Structures are given as C-alpha cells and as structure tokens.
Amino acid sequence: MTNLFNFMGGEKGVWKIEIIKPIIGETIPNAARLEIIEGKIEHPAHHWILRGVTSFERYVTTNEKKALKAIQPPLNRPEAICAALIPIKKMPAWWELAPDERRRIFEAQSKHIEIGMKYLPAVARKLFHCREIGEHFDFLTWFEFAPEHAEAFEELLVFLRNSEEWTYVEREVDIRLSR
C-alpha cells in the first residue's frame, strides 16, 4: 500500500500543532506534534492517527485537470511553513447521490474547483481519501502556505464552508500547524 499516508498526532514530527478546532461535530484529542508517515505501520505509537490514500480524481473535468496541473505548486516549499490538516465527513445523503448530482453541487453550485484555483499557487493542497479504507472521516485535505498567505487561506475556507456542498458535511475538524 504505497499510496497510504498516516497523519499521527503525538510527541514527534516536524510539524508543531498550533490548535485543533472543531468546526462541525466532535473534535479530536490534542497533541503536541504531527508526524506524517507513508505506508503501512504495524505498531504505531501516537495519540491519534488519521489515515488516507491518494487516489484518482472524482469530479474534475479534463480541462480543469489541465488548468490545475499548470498552476499547482509542490508541497515542501521552504517558505510554506504554515499548514492545515482538515478531516471531513459527509452525510450519507451525499454518498447516496449519483456522481452527476455530486458534481453539480461540487462545482456548478459550490464552485469548489473555481474557488480553490483562485488561491493557487499560494496555497498548496493535497487530498487523501479515507472512506474506502474504513476510517471515521471521508477525506483529509492537507494545505501548505507561507505566513503572508495565511489571510488568503482563511478566505478560501470561508467561501467553501458557505457553499451548498458544505451543507452535506456532518463532521469537520481544523488542525493548524507550523514548522
């Protein structure tokens, strides 16, 4: 399972956890640092662990994919010392929708991709899927940005959280980090 990533909250890791804020529903326990390890871990030592896999795209069109590819920054840029890890769980009603309806809410109504594009290349982003591997959350999104883009990042979150798509979110935690 080379595409599996473990986000482990505990005493170790290059990322210092600044704050863990529940946005919708139950929060997760506090921890001092975050360690990110790729691959399967047999006996992890941690306070909590959030696991996700990288996977193929679910909603983006061919043209959107091209546009994103042209502008998306890599992770680990030296200046990007701020990060956010945002686990999300959507309601059963979301998953019962056919994919064309999910896409309509995701982009035509909520402009998820269009909004995200506005904050590129300032805010680097990577999505991990958890639903299929039996985790509590459906997605983990990892964001990295420089301190001067922290305000822009807050704005991005406000837009997304006010979208129709977000009415389907039943649990969301906002974990902020720095290194």
Q: Which chain residues interact with a copy of itself by CB under 8 A?
A: 1-4, 40, 53, 55-62, 64-65, 95-101, 129, 131-134
User: Least distance from C-beta 87 to a copy of itself, angstroms?
Assistant: 17
User: Least distance from C-beta 167 to a copy of itself, angstroms?
Assistant: 18
Q: Which is nearer to a copy of itself, 132 or 155 (CB)?
A: 132
Q: Which is nearer to a copy of itself, 61 or 162 (CB)?
A: 61
User: Least distance from C-beta 4 to a copy of itself, angstroms?
Assistant: 6
What is residue 59's three-state secondary structure?
coil
Q: Check: CB of residue 124 under 8 Å from CB of residue 75.
A: yes
The CA distances from residue 1 to 38, 54, 55, 144, 154, in Å, are 9, 10, 12, 25, 34
Residue 120 Ramachandran class (φ > 0 left, ψ -120 to 50 alpha, else beta): beta
User: Least distance from C-beta 25 to a copy of itself, angstroms?
Assistant: 20
Count the neighbouring beta carbons within 10 Å of the beta carbon of residue 42. 4
Q: Which is nearer to a copy of itself, 41 or 97 (CB)?
A: 97
